[in-house]
Amino acid sequence: MVITEQKPFNEIVSHLKKGEKIFIIGCGECSTTCKTGGEEEVLALKKKLQEEGFLITGFVVPKAPCIASHIKSAIAKNFSQIKDSDSYLILTCGLGAQSVIANDRLGLPAHIGCNTLFIGMVGLDAKNFFEVCSACGDCMLEDTLGICALTQCPKGILNGPCGGMAEGKCESDKDRECVWVAIYNRLKDKGRLESFFKIYPAKDFSKHKKPRHKVIG
């Protein structure tokens, strides 16, 4: 999922004009899990903004605003409130925000309420989010038994460990195990050490050329 943080309230307010009529859009998936743009956070922000004198015309929390059909249907269902609004305040990741902007036929100005941080794995407590994949487009998890060196190593080294590793720890953080030591240990446990001695070519960043686009079917 996409991990977000809500921008500080002062920053959000700094983009709004007194008397501006604002329609808030949240997200029922990632931003709900991150507690940055679910219904609870949308309502809390709405209350705070109203206390500051802003007029909130309405709000909606589409299931996944990054999906065109979801945001289009959310906008259609709330059209009467949206057409009386001056702007959107969007509490989603950058994908959701751009999807709102791309699918809004009124072309309302959009205020961005969240920072998008990374693609993350959600811990069991649903409070810890871990960056474990950088979406490189050329996955090597098969050979590293599920540990992404590109993401977990601060230098993104594909043939590690680097010369800075000491006693199994990473040179950038002495409390952290070097990811290549973790890969070595996992491969050894599974009798797959031959993969450790393989030389991995530099990543094919042509697969990472932005902006990326994929069509299915």
171 binding ligand SF4? (CB under 6 A): yes
Report how far residue 66's alpha carbon sits from residue 78's, in angstroms, rounded to the nearest whole number: 17
Q: Write the single-letter amino acid at 166.
A: A
Size of the site for ligand SF4 (CB under 6 A): 25
Report how far residue 62's alpha carbon sits from residue 70's, in angstroms, rounded to the nearest whole number: 6
Closest distance to ligand SF4 from the beta carbon of 94 (Å): 19
Dihedral sign for Cα atoms in the order 9, 29, 94, 115: positive
Residue placing its CB nearer to ligand SF4 in the complex, 65 or 161:
161
Residue placing its CB nearer to ligand SF4 in the complex, 75 or 153:
153
8 Å CB contact between 20 and 87? yes
Residue 208: other Cβ atoms inside 10 A = 13
8 Å CB contact between 96 and 90? yes
96 binding ligand SF4? (CB under 6 A): no
Report how far residue 7's alpha carbon sits from residue 113's, in angstroms, rounded to the nearest whole number: 6
Choosing from 180, 183, 187, 196, the residue that interacts with ligand SF4 (CB under 6 A) is 180
Residue placing its CB nearer to ligand SF4 in the complex, 90 or 148:
148
Residue 67: other Cβ atoms inside 10 A = 16
1 binding ligand SF4? (CB under 6 A): no
Choosing from 172, 188, 205, 207, the residue that interacts with ligand SF4 (CB under 6 A) is 172
133 binding ligand SF4? (CB under 6 A): yes
161 binding ligand SF4? (CB under 6 A): yes
Q: Which chain residues interact with ligand SF4 by CB under 6 A?
A: 133-136, 139-141, 148, 150-151, 153-155, 157, 160-162, 164-165, 170-172, 178-180
